Structures are given as structure tokens and as C-alpha cells.
Amino acid sequence: QVQLVESGGGSVQAGGSLRLSCAASGYTTSRYCIGWFRQAPGKEREGVATIDSDGSTSYTDSVKGRFTITKDNAKNTLYLQMNSLKPEDSAMYYCAATDSSYYCAVKGYRGFGYWGQGTQVTVYS
């Protein structure tokens, strides 16, 4: 049974940093794509960053240069380092996994079949 458990969310002042973690079990991060999505109230779920089995990464434009996605295959854990946070980054952040390279590259949440419960990130000005 696949389980994804996020942690690391919280409240931070604009310009600050947070690091999110996603511990995977029943699922091998080295073999499939895993990524981060976020959803703010009243908005559609958005793909933030993904990392495929070969290590290739994809970021949404609004976070390029500020966020970094990495994974530790030995620990089966995914990370999202978020720097220079802005109030518009506030959302529930979800970890998700897929075996589709296509959905990985386009960060299409409909193609991700496994989801964590989410961790809240709030950035205040």
C-alpha cells in the first residue's frame, strides 16, 4: 500500500524559507515520478515541481529560481526547499506520485494516482 506523508509546513514571513518533506512507503521514489502540488482556497490544484526517475525536474514558472525539488532514494523521501517565499505561495502543499513520464513533465495533477494528506504553508507580509 502506497503512503505519502508530508511534513515541514508552517507560517513564515515573506522572504523566508521552508523545507517540505514527503516520506514514501510502499513506493520506490527511484523508479517513478514524484512531485509537489499546491492548492489555495478557491483555486485549482497546481503543479509546483516534479522529479522523474532519471532525476529530471520540472518547475512551474512562478517558483523557478526560488524552489528546489530533490529526493533521497536511500530514504525514499522527497523534499521541496522553498526560499524567498511570497504571500501568493500560501496554500496546502501535497506530495504525489505517478508512473507516467508525460504527466510528470507537464505536472498534470489528474495523472497522479497517489497523494499525501497535505501540509499547510502560510506566508504573511
Closest CA to 76 of 112, 26, 125, 36: 26
119-124/57-59 β-pairing = unpaired
- The pLDDT, as a whole number, for residue 105 is 87
- The pLDDT, as a whole number, for residue 29 is 65
Q: Do residues 104 and 71 make contact, with C-beta atoms less than 8 angstroms apart?
A: no
- The pLDDT, as a whole number, for residue 31 is 79
- For 18, what's the count of Cα atoms within 13 Å in the CB-facing half-sphere? 21
Q: Do residues 91 and 119 make contact, with C-beta atoms less than 8 angstroms apart?
A: no
- The pLDDT, as a whole number, for residue 2 is 85
Q: Do residues 54 and 5 make contact, with C-beta atoms less than 8 angstroms apart?
A: no
DSSP symbol at 90: -
10-13/67-72 β-pairing = unpaired
Q: Do residues 80 and 96 make contact, with C-beta atoms less than 8 angstroms apart?
A: no
* Residues 6 or more apart in contact with residue 120 via CB below 8 angstroms: 9, 10, 91, 92, 93
CA gap 72, 42 in Å, rounded: 33
Residue the block writes with cell 502540488: 37
> For the chain, which ranges sit under pLDDT 70?
29
